[in-house]
Amino acid sequence: MSILDLFNANTPLININEIAAALEISTASAYRYASELTDAGMLSRSSGCYRLGPKIIELEYLIHTNDPVLNASRDLMYGLAEMTHCNALLCNLYDESAVNIFHVPGRDPAKITYTKGLKMPTFRGAQAHIVLAHMNRRKLRRVYDRALQDPCVAPDARAIGEDWTSFTKNLKRIREAGYYISRGQLDPGVVGIAAPVFGENLEIVGALVLAWDDVRPSKLNEETLIGLVVQSANEISIRLKNESSSQPSAEDACSP
């Protein structure tokens, strides 16, 4: 699975030697792993290189049609974009990362770099601050300490807090506020408001965001926009809770 992490917007193709070097394995092992992924449809071979395979498109379709977070959010996001003329975005979490899984452009859409499918920066942007503010403390400490060792990421982490105490104190303020506003952190001139979306057991599963270009502000004032984002995120969380409680248990599902 680490092979799939080698692909990004700047690396659409990889070869066996690159796989072997990145994973620090022999070329024979790299070829065997790549062949297994190709057989599973996760990779396709093309002119001696490998690209992402058709199985991923199939999985994306299943997410688009069946993901419970997306299904609970879609109509609210269309309504927000129509009402505010802003971009409405929904991000989901996996491990320590966040990625936007749905994007509804407003009537006056801002130019946003991190649209659907692009992995978000860990310490910049409204989504990142909301996710960090609700992250498990042990995981949060691990993420912060690792970031300080990376010269490319450390400045972003220190912008939230120069040390662990100030870092967690500032995130606590965000958590208590229930939302976060970023200004130009991801794209120049773009403002974003994010609020958390919770799943079962009040565990954060993502964030709902409104984003707009500050040279073309929304027809609604900022306080109203904050209220709309928070209210909509709360409604999504309620829908997810109700959906979870209505699902049969594993024992019931398997009963004759």
Q: Which of 207, 99, 96 is nearest to 147 (CA)?
A: 96
| Confidence at 96, pLDDT banded by 50, 70, 90 | confident
Percent with pLDDT over 70 in the chain: 95
Q: Is the pLDDT of residue 227 over 90?
A: yes
Residue intervals in the chain for CATH 3.30.450.40: 67-246
**pLDDT at residue number 78:** 95
**pLDDT at residue number 114:** 83
Q: Does the domain spanning 4-58 belong to CATH 1.50.10.10?
A: no
| Confidence at 251, pLDDT banded by 50, 70, 90 | low
Q: Is the pLDDT of residue 168 over 80?
A: yes
**pLDDT at residue number 46:** 83
Q: What superfamily would CATH give domain 67-246?
A: GAF domain (3.30.450.40)
Torsions phi, psi for 89 (to 5 deg): -130, 150
**pLDDT at residue number 247:** 63
* Helix (H) / strand (E) containing 206: strand 204-213
Residue intervals in the chain for CATH 1.10.10.10: 4-58
Q: Is the pLDDT of residue 126 over 70?
A: yes
Cβ atoms of 143 and 122 closer than 8 Å: yes
Tally of CB atoms within 10 A around 170: 16
| Close Cβ partners of 231 (under 8 Å, ≥ 6 residues apart) | none
Q: Is the pLDDT of residue 214 over 80?
A: yes
